[in-house]
Amino acid sequence: MGLLRLLSARASESVTASDLARESGYDETLIGTNLARIMRMMTALGLATETGYQSYRANARTICQSGPGSIGGLVIAQIDQYLHQPKPCATDESPASYTFAMRETLWKTLSTDRQVYYPVRERLLLLSPTNLEQFLKPFTIVDIGGSQEVDLQRFATALPDVPCELILQDLRETVNMIPLGLDPRIQPMVYDFFTPQPVKGADVYYLNSILHDWNDEAVRKILSNTAQVMGLHSRLLINEMVLAETGETLARADMHMLMWLPCNGMERTRRQWEELLGVEPLLQIVAALAVADSDFKL
């Protein structure tokens, strides 16, 4: 993309994401998505200086790394072939890097390769527990894309005597792998979250680390399917990372890049979350609560 070169050529001034998208020759739909994602990582690595929201300036490291020799060492194998595809940076139309390299989607691999799937599942168990103790009357929680028990079983174990209906929704291949011995209040249900939600008027709909796997178009579909069945009393709980608008850490910027490579997903800022919630019917953020000892917010 030549970002280091473009920044170095205008080293005396701040350059916006819009300027970089235009001057690099890529589609300006990159603004706020892939280009901003790349620049968030570059500034976290010290390869450029962030001067404001989606605004950047070259520093000494930018200039040092902008020469042909330095850039050559950063080129990824097959990137030229990948970028010559039609609209290679349009995440809703182009395959993810994982799909491009492996010739199948990440989800296909996870559904067939248990050696890949189970380490992911074990890491999910390390996420901070959901705290829903305020719901001490009969209620219904729908865990959308809830995998094999993680959060609902933890909830049921913590509150063994609370009368509730806990609905665990996921694809058939995942539901078929649910282990025996779950709390009897947990009801597995086969469901694809890109289709209309069958459970109407639940008290809580819960999405834990689902939306960062998908591009904006897919996320709007998931949110809209959920919003259409919510009652006035219903709440949607979203457990996701919320990126800082500026000055993000390297670890979190790295996670942002990591979600792009396997599945064209992304981490998002609060501004981006608010834009995504503008579905029909309209959703809005009531609160953003930090989860202790975690990068995630709810």
Half-sphere exposure of 201 (CA within 13 A, CB side): 0
Q: What is the DSSP string of 31-61?
A: TTTHHHHHHHHHHHTTSSEEEETTEEE--HH
- Which residue from 145, 273, 289 is spatially nearest to 298, judged by alpha carbons? 289
The reply to whether 256 belongs to the active site is no
Report how far residue 64's alpha carbon sits from residue 57's, in angstroms, rounded to the nearest whole number: 14
Say which of 84, 212, 233, 256 is annotated catalytic.
Answer: 212
147 secondary structure, DSSP code: T
74 φ, ψ (degrees, to nearest 5): -95, -5
Report how far residue 2's alpha carbon sits from residue 283's, in angstroms, rounded to the nearest whole number: 39
- Which residue from 260, 245, 250, 242 is spatially nearest to 34, judged by alpha carbons? 260
| Joined tokens for residue 270 | 């609060």
Indicate if the alpha-carbon torsion angle 275, 281, 284, 289 is positive or negative: negative
Report how far residue 103's alpha carbon sits from residue 163's, in angstroms, rounded to the nearest whole number: 46
CA torsion, ordered 27, 31, 36, 38, to nearest 10 deg: -10
- Cβ burial of 137 (10 Å; 0-12, 13-18, 19+) is exposed
String of b and e for 92-107 (b: at least 16 CB within 10 Å)? eebbbbbbbeeeebbe
Return the CA Rg of the chain.
21
Active-site residue list: 212
